[in-house]
Structure 1
Amino acid sequence: MNLKSDADLVERYGSPLYVYDLDRAVAARDDLLASLPEGTIVYFSFKANPHPGIAEALRRGADSSCKAEISSAGELVAALTAGFDPLDILYTGPGKTSEEVEAAVEAGVRVFSVESVGDLRRVGHAALSQGATASCLLRVNSSGPGATTSIRMTGTPSQFGFDSETLPDLMPELRSVPGTRLSGMHLFSLSNAKDEDSLIAELTHTITAAAKVRDSTGLVPELLDLGGGFASPYLTPGKRPLYGGLRAALEEILDSHFPSWRQGSPRIAAESGRYLVGDCGRLLCTVTNVKESRGIRFVILDAGINVLGGMSGLGRLLPVSVALDGDENGRGSAVANLVGPLCTPGDILGRNVAVPDLRPGDLVTIPNAGAYGMTASLVMFLGRPAPMEITLRRDEVISASRVICTRMQT
C-alpha cells in the first residue's frame, strides 16, 4: 500500500508509530562497505534494532559481506527469521547462559566471541554435547585508548573481554578447552566516534593492539573483528557521516601489521548497528497536552521512555528533537521540556528543546530513530501498548507489526 504522508500512516496504523525506510538502511550498508578495506565483513549488531524486516534488507544483495552479530536467544530467532545462515552469525556477550549457547549451537551457530575462561568453557561444553567444534574469537580488552567517546568499551576494568596483559599466561589453558578452537580476536573499543579522525585513531590503535596480542601469544587470527564506532545522529536532525579517508588509512595500518590480510589471512570484520539503521527510522507521535509549570513549558507526547530509548530517563541520550508534520509555513518557535505520558518524573525525552509552537493534537516527527529506539525502551513499564512498526520500500508499506508484551496477554 502506498500512502501519501505521515498523517496517512498515523491514521491507518495509530500513534505513536515507528516508520523504517528499508532503502535508507541498504544505502547505509553500501556506504559503510565502501568506506572499509575491500573484502571486510560487516556484522549487523542486532542490539540496535532486531526488526527482521530491516535485517533481511541488510542481508540481501550484500554478496555475503553483511552478517549477523547477536547476543541473546531472542536475537538468534530474529536473525534466523531474517534469513541469515547460522554459519554467518557471530554470537557475542559477556553473560551467555548455558541454555542460550546450547540453543545457538543446536541452531547451527559455530562462531562465538568469548570474554573469559568460563565463557570459553561454557561454549566448549555446549559444542561437545552436540558433536561440534566452536570457532572462538578472544575478545580483548586492550590497554591505552586511541580516542575519546561518550561510550568507551576498553582500556579500563570491564566485564568485556580478556585483559590483554593476561593473555600470554592464559593461552595454554585457553588452547586446551575441549570443543573449541581459537580462531581469532574481537576488539571493540568505542561507540559513536565523534569524527573520522577519532575513528581512524581508535581503529589504528585496535589493529596495533591485535598485532601485539598475536606477537605475545602466538595466536595468528583467521578472523580479526575490529569492532565499530561508526557514528550516526540519534533522535536529532542530521546526516550520518561518510568516511572518505577511512579505507586508505586502515589498509595502510593493516599492511604494516597484518601484511597477508589482502590474501584473506586474516579476514577483516567490523560491526555496526547505529550507522546501519539509525537514519532509516523515524518516530511519529502526537501532542496530547501542553502546559506551563512555574515558568517552564511542558509538551506531553503519547510516546515516552516506554517507546523511545528508555535510557533517556537516565539523562544519557538527551536531547530529543521534534519537527511538526505538515508545518510548511512555520508557527514560530518555543522552548519546552518534551515528556511522555507515564506516571513518573523520569519520563523525560528532552529538556529545554527548541520546538515549534505545538498544540494538542499536533503530529510530530522524531528523526533518526532507527537505532536504540523501541527495543532500547522500557516497553513493559506501566503496561501501555507497544507502538506499531512499519517498513517502507520506495514509500510503499511492506510490513506492519507490533511487539506483544506476553505477560500482559496472559
Structure 2
Amino acid sequence: MSPAHTEQRQFPVLEDCLQLGGITLTRLAERVGRTPFYAYEREHIQSRIALLRSTLPPELQLHYAIKANPMPALVQMMGSLVDGFDVASGGELKTALDAGMPPSHISFAGPGKTSSELRCAIAAGVLLHLESEEEMARAARIGEQMGLTPRVAVRVNPEFELKYAGMKMAGGARQFGVDAERVPAMLRKLGALGLDFQGFHLFCGAQNLSSRAICEAQRLCVELGLRLAAHAPAPLRVLNIGGGFGVPYFPGERALDLPAVADGLHETMLGLTAESPQTRLVLELGRYLVAESGVYVCRVLERKVSHGQVFVITDGGMHHHLAASGNFGQVIRKNYPVAIGNRMQAGPREIATVVGPLCTPLDTLADSMELARAEPGDFVVVFQSGAYGLTASPTAFLSHPLPLEVLV
C-alpha cells in the first residue's frame, strides 16, 4: 500500500478498502460528503504521544508546535495530551488560547512579529521568544505602554547546525534568532529594560531521522544555554531545545530510533539538572506528533493516456497539498506514499502519474508510480499528510474550493 523499504505507519484494510479511525474510506467519504478532504486519526496521535511519554525522560516538557497542523479540533485534543503549545503568529495564538491552554504554557516564536501580535501576546501573558534586539525593544515599549511586564526568552542562533536535517534553521547567517555571540550584550540590555527573563529557545532544524545527529544537537543546545545563562539577568527557568524529529516519507528512509534519542536526552538532562536544577527542558515537536496520523483523499475524475503514459486526473492537487507535489523544500522531487484507497489489495496494477486540475505541470501528486489501476470515482490517498498539508499550500491558486478536514 506504500513504497517498499519505507518504514512508516500502516493503516488497516477491510475488504480491499483503507480504514481510517475504524471507518472504511468509502464510508468516511460518504460521511464527509465531498472530496477532496484531509482526515486525521485521534488514536494514532494519542498513541504517538503515549510512546514519547513512556520513552523520553519524565522530567521533559513536551510542547506541540501548532504550525504543523493548526486544525482547531486537533489542537483542542492536543491540549489534554501535551504540556504546552508553541505558536508562530497571532492567528495561531488565538487558536491556542481558544483551545484552553493556559497562557503561561504557550510560547510565541518567529521573526517579524507585528506590534499588534506583540500586544496580544503581552496582554495574554504568553512567553515571547525574542528574535532580535529590535523586537526586544519594541516588546519593552509595548509592555510599558500597557503597564505589563512581558515574559520573554531569547531565541539563539547557535554556531552549530542540526546535521542531516531536511530543513536547517541554525548555524551561519539566519533570519531566525540572535547570533550566539551577540546574546550576552542583548541580555544586559534586557535586564536594564526590566523584562521578565525566562530562558532561551534554540531550534536547529527539522525533519531529521538521525538519532545521533539529534542527540549531538540537543547536547550542544543545553551546553550553550548554560554558558549563556551566566550573562542572564535572572535564573534560567526554561530551555526550549526545539525538536527536529523526522518521519519517513520516501523509499529507503527508516524511522527515527526513539530509544536512542531518549538515552541521549537522559544523559543531557543529568548535566542540566546538576548545573541548573530549576531549569525546565522543553522539547517542541510538530511533524513527529501528527504527520503519520493523516491522509489526503481526492477522487479520480478521469484516466488519460498521452504518448503511452497513463495520467490519473483528480479533483485535488498541489493547491491543497504542496508538500506532496514536491514543491515544499524538496531539491529532487520524490513521491510521497500514495495508493488507490479503495483498491488496496487485489486487481491489476500499472505505472501511472497522478495529477490534479491545475494549469501547471507542477500539479503532480505521484509521478510514474506503481499503483492499482484507477477508474473514475476511485479514491487517491496520500499518506503521511497530517503535518504541513493544507495550511502550507497555495489554496487560492485558481480559486478551487478548499478541502474539508475531519478528525476521526
Q: TM-score range by the shorter chain?
A: 0.7 to 0.9
Provide the rounded CA distance (Å) in 2 between the counterparts of 1:311 and 1:219.
45
Is 1:285 paired with 2:302? no
Deviation of residue 21 (structure 1)?
1.1
After superposition, the C-alpha distances for 1:37-91 in whole angstroms (9 at most, x for unaligned) are 222221211111111211121221x4xx521111112111211222212222111
Aligned to 1:141: 157
Is 1:322 paired with 2:341? no
CA-based RMSD of the aligned residues comes to: 2.5
Deviation of residue 110 (structure 1)?
2.8
After superposition, the C-alpha distances for 1:291-333 in whole angstroms (9 at most, x for unaligned) are 2333433222211111113683536354222222232542333
Paired residue secondary structure (2:59) = coil
Relative distance call for 1:37 and 1:232 in structure 2 (3 A) is: same
Q: Is the 8 A contact 1:235 1:366 kept in 2?
A: no
Is 1:196 paired with 2:211? yes
Paired residue secondary structure (2:84) = strand
Relative distance call for 1:294 and 1:156 in structure 2 (3 A) is: farther
Provide the rounded CA distance (Å) in 2 between the counterparts of 1:257 and 1:87.
22
Is 1:79 paired with 2:96? yes
After superposition, the C-alpha distances for 1:187-224 in whole angstroms (9 at most, x for unaligned) are 00010112322221221222222233234667642100
Paired residue secondary structure (2:321) = coil
Provide the rounded CA distance (Å) in 1 between the counterparts of 2:345 and 2:291.
28
Provide the rounded CA distance (Å) in 2 between the counterparts of 1:54 and 1:235.
26
Provide the rounded CA distance (Å) in 2 between the counterparts of 1:330 and 1:113.
52
Q: Is the 8 A contact 2:209 2:247 kept in 1?
A: no
After superposition, the C-alpha distances for 1:18-39 in whole angstroms (9 at most, x for unaligned) are 1111121122222223333222
Paired residue secondary structure (1:284) = strand
Which runs of at least 4 in structure 1 moved beyond 4 Å after TM superposition? Answer: 215-220, 234-242
Provide the rounded CA distance (Å) in 2 between the counterparts of 1:238 and 1:15.
30
Deviation of residue 99 (structure 1)?
0.8
Deviation of residue 279 (structure 1)?
1.6
Relative distance call for 1:288 and 1:391 in structure 2 (3 A) is: same
Paired residue secondary structure (2:366) = strand
Is 1:248 paired with 2:263? yes
Identical amino acids, percent of aligned pairs: 29
Correspondences of 1:38-77 after superposition (within 5 Å): 38-60=58-80, 62=81, 65-77=82-94
Aligned to 1:6: 25
Aligned to 1:212: 227
Aligned to 2:138: 122
Provide the rounded CA distance (Å) in 2 between the counterparts of 1:78 and 1:32.
24
Q: Is the 8 A contact 2:63 2:283 kept in 1?
A: yes
Of 275, 279, 286, the residue aligned with 1:273 is 286
Q: Is the 8 A contact 2:85 2:107 kept in 1?
A: yes
Aligned to 2:107: 90
Correspondences of 1:105-184 after superposition (within 5 Å): 105-106=122-123, 108-178=124-194, 180-184=195-199
Q: Is the 8 A contact 1:290 1:298 kept in 2?
A: yes
- Give, as a single letter, the amino acid of the residue that structure 2 aligns with 1:126: I
Provide the rounded CA distance (Å) in 1 between the counterparts of 2:321 and 2:251.
13
- Give, as a single letter, the amino acid of the residue that structure 2 aligns with 1:227: G
Aligned to 2:15: none
Provide the rounded CA distance (Å) in 2 between the counterparts of 1:123 and 1:31.
38
Deviation of residue 289 (structure 1)?
2.3
Q: Is the 8 A contact 2:324 2:336 kept in 1?
A: no
Aligned to 1:402: none
Is 1:305 paired with 2:351? no
Of 232, 236, 246, the residue aligned with 2:247 is 232
Provide the rounded CA distance (Å) in 1 between the counterparts of 2:248 and 2:376.
28
Relative distance call for 1:375 and 1:240 in structure 2 (3 A) is: farther
Of 27, 45, 53, the residue aligned with 1:25 is 45
Is 1:378 paired with 2:398? no
**Matched residues, number:** 384
Provide the rounded CA distance (Å) in 1 between the counterparts of 2:406 and 2:254.
22
Paired residue secondary structure (1:247) = helix
Q: Is the 8 A contact 1:287 1:359 kept in 2?
A: yes
Deviation of residue 353 (structure 1)?
2.5
Provide the rounded CA distance (Å) in 1 between the counterparts of 2:31 and 2:159.
53
Aligned to 1:37: 57
Provide the rounded CA distance (Å) in 1 between the counterparts of 2:217 and 2:327.
27
Relative distance call for 1:173 and 1:3 in structure 2 (3 A) is: closer
Paired residue secondary structure (1:155) = coil
Aligned to 1:259: 274
Give the TM-score normalised by structure 1: 0.86
Q: Is the 8 A contact 1:287 1:361 kept in 2?
A: yes
Provide the rounded CA distance (Å) in 2 between the counterparts of 1:77 and 1:83.
10
Deviation of residue 275 (structure 1)?
0.8
Q: Is the 8 A contact 1:235 1:369 kept in 2?
A: no
Relative distance call for 1:240 and 1:128 in structure 2 (3 A) is: farther
Relative distance call for 1:238 and 1:77 in structure 2 (3 A) is: farther
Provide the rounded CA distance (Å) in 2 between the counterparts of 1:307 and 1:324.
18
Aligned to 1:408: none
Relative distance call for 1:37 and 1:123 in structure 2 (3 A) is: farther
Relative distance call for 1:306 and 1:186 in structure 2 (3 A) is: same
Q: Is the 8 A contact 1:35 1:246 kept in 2?
A: no
- Give, as a single letter, the amino acid of the residue that structure 1 aligns with 2:65: S
- 220-229 or 302-311, larger mean C-alpha shift: 302-311
